[in-house]
């Protein structure tokens, strides 16, 4: 059913150094807003008081580089005109989901924009670890040509790849691991075994089983109180001494101190890490000195294509919220119990057709 978007205002909360702009300065973020004929307003204030006033005149807000204090939720949702907040990225560990639900604030992000990129980064670390690339790259560049440090080295085909979290990224990693001829197992309490079967994945009942059976363990879960340090001392004690840990999710999912001890005690063979508990990482962190650890600086989700898609998704999700639809990437589903019923999320192409655009 077509709805009038001409009176809709989308408030864009950009980085501090990108204030005082217009929709023309943010062509990707404002694209969907323009397609619907709504107004894209760039916030130019500096205080919470100014933001509260701006939220009173907006139907939805986009946060792209601008922190939003959860205390502001009392001025949104069921308490004001602004019904939701769409934020850039995959993670939402900085959000207070409880406060948003209590106030009826719909929260969304741009999950899936970097699915291919993060899964590729995961497979890169997996291959780097499996082929001991860090050590041999260092040796050759240092003038040492030797075959004395080859064994043990995994065969890959026929080995077991264990995934924690079978969401968009986890499923894509599974597809790529299967292409290497691996057996893929996964732990995700929210995915049924019959659904996982469609992806060629065996669901297991606990993280501990992932630890025991896997030759490579890869984390693809959000950071929540339940997943904080999910991979810790007990987990490493269960892993094979020939197994590797890959983490391209969130640093605190892994107990870094326990990981360092496991590596130093040779409880596991190595690790591939894109994320850390402290970022930027301390230059003196022992992980940076280990020849069996590959590291990157939390850029797994990046490519120009992915970044462009994420910025476009911001506007699309904002318009879904503003027009009375649920967003595609709702990160606080419990809010369904505290707000009025909405239309189910549909693809952008279908939405344009429904709105007569």
Query: Would you list the domain boundaries of the chain?
Result: 9-113+304-354, 115-295
Residue 203 has a pLDDT of 98
Q: Tell me whether residue 136 is one of the annotated catalytic residues.
A: no
Task: Give burial (CB, 10 Å; 0-12/13-18/19+) of 125.
Answer: buried
CATH number of 115-295: 3.40.50.720
Q: How far does Cα 122 stand from its chain's mean position?
A: 13
Which pLDDT belongs to residue 229? 98
| SS3 category, 136 | helix
Tokens representing 29? 């973020």
**Is 279 a catalytic site residue?**
yes
Same CATH topology for 9-113+304-354 and 115-295: the answer is yes
C-alpha distances out from residue 128 to 43, 234, 272, 294, Å: 44, 25, 8, 7
Q: What whole-number distance in Å separates Cα of residue 277 and Cα of residue 256?
A: 7
Distance CA 33, CA 38 (A): 5
What is the Cβ-side half-sphere exposure of residue 297, based on CA atoms within 13 angstroms? Answer: 5
Q: By three-state DSSP, how is residue 231 classified?
A: strand
Question: Is residue 250 flagged as an active site residue?
Answer: yes
* 22 Cβ contact list (under 8 Å, min separation 6): 40, 42
Indicate which residue of 298, 316, 317, 320 is catalytic.
Answer: 298
Annotated catalytic residue, options 125, 220, 250, 320: 250
Residue 127 C-beta-side C-alpha neighbours within 13 Å:
10
Q: Which string of b and e fits 258-289 if b means at least 16 CB within 10 Å?
A: bbbebbeeebbbbbbbbbbbeeebeeebebee
**CATH number of the domain located at residue range(s) 9-113+304-354 in this protein:** 3.40.50.720
State the helix-helix crossing angle for 168-179 and 115-130, rounded to 10 degrees. 40
Confidence (pLDDT) at 18: 63
Q: Is 31 in a helix, a strand, or coil?
A: helix
> Can you give the pLDDT of all 357 residues of the chain as single tens digits?
567 889 999 999 987 666 667 888 999 999 999 999 999 999 998 888 999 999 999 999 999 877 788 899 999 999 999 999 999 876 665 678 899 999 999 999 998 899 999 999 999 999 999 999 999 999 999 999 999 999 999 899 999 999 999 999 999 999 999 999 999 999 999 999 999 999 999 999 999 999 999 999 999 998 989 999 999 999 999 999 999 999 999 999 999 999 999 999 999 999 999 999 999 999 999 999 999 999 999 999 999 999 999 999 999 999 999 999 999 999 999 999 999 999 999 999 999 999 888
The number of CA neighbours under 13 Å toward the Cβ of 243 is 25
Given 50, 53, 234, 279, which residue is catalytic? 279
| Cβ(187)–Cβ(206) below 8 Å | yes
Q: Is the peptide bond before 50 cis (omega within 30 degrees of 0)?
A: no
Residue 84: strand, helix, or coil:
strand
């Amino acid at each position: 059913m077509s709805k009038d978007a001409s009176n809709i205002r989308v408030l864009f909360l950009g980085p501090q150094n990108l204030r005082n702009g217009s929709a023309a300065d943010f062509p990707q973020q404002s694209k969907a807003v323009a397609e619907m004929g709504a107004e894209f307003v760039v916030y130019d204030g500096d205080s919470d008081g100014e933001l509260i006033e701006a939220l009173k005149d907006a139907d939805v807000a986009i946060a792209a580089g601008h922190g939003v204090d959860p205390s502001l939720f009392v001025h949104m949702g069921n308490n004001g005109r602004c019904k939701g907040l769409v934020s850039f990225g995959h993670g939402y560990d900085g959000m207070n989901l409880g406060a948003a639900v209590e106030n009826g604030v719909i929260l969304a992000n741009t999950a899936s924009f970097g699915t291919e990129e993060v899964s590729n980064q995961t497979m890169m670390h997996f291959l780097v670890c499996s082929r001991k690339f860090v050590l041999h790259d260092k040796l050759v560049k240092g003038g040492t040509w030797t075959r004395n440090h080859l064994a043990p080295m995994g065969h890959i085909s026929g080995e077991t790849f264990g995934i924690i979290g079978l969401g968009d990224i986890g499923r894509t990693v599974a597809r790529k691991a299967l292409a290497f001829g691996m057996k893929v197992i996964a732990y995700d309490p929210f995915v049924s075994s019959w659904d996982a079967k469609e992806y060629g994945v065996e669901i297991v009942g606990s993280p501990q089983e992932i630890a025991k059976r896997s030759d490579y363990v890869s984390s693809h879960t959000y950071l929540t109180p339940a997943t904080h340090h999910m991979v810790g001392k007990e987990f490493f004690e269960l892993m094979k001494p020939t197994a590797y840990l890959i983490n391209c999710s969130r640093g605190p999912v892994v107990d870094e101190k326990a990981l360092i001890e496991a590596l130093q005690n040779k409880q596991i063979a190595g690790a591939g890490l894109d994320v850390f508990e402290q970022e930027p990482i301390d230059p003196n962190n022992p992980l940076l000195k280990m020849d069996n650890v590959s590291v990157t600086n939390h850029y797994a989700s990046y490519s120009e294509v992915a970044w462009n898609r994420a910025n476009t998704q911001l506007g699309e999700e904002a318009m879904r919220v503003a027009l009375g639809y649920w967003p595609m990437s709702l990160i606080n589903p419990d809010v369904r119990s505290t707000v009025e019923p909405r239309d189910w999320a549909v693809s952008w192409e279908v939405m344009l057709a429904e709105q007569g655009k």
